[in-house]
Amino acid sequence: MSQTFNYRHLFYFWVVAKEGGIARAAERLDMAVQTISAQVRELEKSLGVSLLRNEGRTLVLTDAGVAALHEADQIFALGERLPVRVREAATGQTVRLSLGISDGIAKLAVHRLLTPVLDEPHLRLLCHEGEFQPLLGELALHKLDAVLADRAAAPNPALRTTSQLLGSSAIAWFAPPLWAEAAAHQFPQSLAVVPVLLPTHHATVRERMDHWMERERIRPRIAGEFEDSALLSTFAASGMGVMPAPVSLGPHLRQTCGLVQVGTTPEVQEQFHLIYSARKVMHPLLTRLLEAGQSNMLLNV
């Protein structure tokens, strides 16, 4: 890096890129347009490349500008977190763990998956639910320590992420008392007779369920499809229909929702992966989770 490189120049470029133009950036920063433009030119001069170009009346990023913006996103995301992290470290008390929870994962399993770290004194657990790919983006920007998901992340050297299977569980089928007897009779063919509630196709396990039912020549009587697994169990508990869930969650579903297990499908497994960025110094709580996953402590399959 050039010795003339200046992070203030990078900041002005970052605001220009985010705002979509120099005039908007100047308005946001309450500075003169000429000042912002000069700061961006200084950054380009220090890097030896053009970061912006005009296309008609529009200012767009060059390929080098896209790369610079990606790095700047990470730099300033870390900068925003710095004051809080420093204050927490100074007190010697709070241990933060920021996790992304994929919307495809069984939410009732999350608490069990995190059991090894929940007894940490002064733990501050931050859980952010969202779609799988955007959460990986947040992880790449170091806004998250890790992501819990129902699938592994595809290999991507640019993101430098690692996936580890924390556990897996066979899928069982649970019914409210209204449908329990009918669902248990001649299971699994009964799934073509009783109303069935399923996760939507955003959940990886849905595809496995569909393939299994196709092999068994079952055309389920689908009464509802839900993106959120907690919502799925709520409607099942209301009597709307029979639902699938990891067999390991059976006691919880029985105690909290009054659902009865009517059958199991060992051929269909739901998986739980921890996705994290490869670093020389690992977050100690992530290390604890990974060790628990390797010893099969997290789920009773």
- Which of 50-64, 83-97, 268-282 has the least mean pLDDT? 83-97
Q: Identify the weakest region by mean pLDDT among 107-111, 150-154, 226-230.
A: 107-111
Give domain 168-270's CATH architecture: 3-Layer(aba) Sandwich (3.40)
Least confident of 153-157, 193-197, 223-227, 270-274: 153-157
The predicted pLDDT at position 174 comes to 97
Choice between 37 and 6, residue whose per-residue pLDDT is larger = 37
Q: For 134-181, how does the pLDDT look when each residue is reduced to its tens digit (9 = 90+)?
A: 998 888 878 899 999 999 998 776 667 889 999 889 999 999 999 999
Identical topology for domains 7-71 and 78-167+272-294? no
Indicate the residue type of 257: C
The pTM of the full predicted model, rounded to 2 decimals, is 0.67
Q: What pLDDT, on the 0 to 100 scale, is given for residue 267?
A: 92
pLDDT at 300 over 60: no
Give the C-alpha separation, 24 to 16, whole Å: 7
**Considering the chain, what is the average pLDDT of its residues?**
87
How would residue 94 be classed by pLDDT, with cut points 50, 70 and 90?
A: confident
Q: What is the C-alpha to C-alpha distance for residues 45 and 3, in angstroms, rounded to an integer?
A: 12
pLDDT in tens, 43-74: 888 888 999 888 877 888 888 888 888 888 87
- pLDDT higher than 80, residue 281: no
- pLDDT of residue 237 exceeding 50, the answer is yes
Residues 11-27 pLDDT 10s: 889 888 888 888 888 88
Give me the pLDDT at residue 199, please. Answer: 95
- pLDDT category at 111 given cuts 50, 70, 90 is confident
Give me the residue spans of the domains in the chain: 7-71, 78-167+272-294, 168-270
Average pLDDT of 189-209? 95
φ and ψ of 59, to 5 deg: -100, 125
What's the confidence (pLDDT) of residue 92? 60
- In the chain, the percentage of residues whose pLDDT exceeds 70 is 90
CATH 3.10.20.30 fits 78-167+272-294, yes or no: no
The fold for domain 7-71 equals Arc Repressor Mutant, subunit A (1.10.10)
- What is the per-residue pLDDT for 87? 63
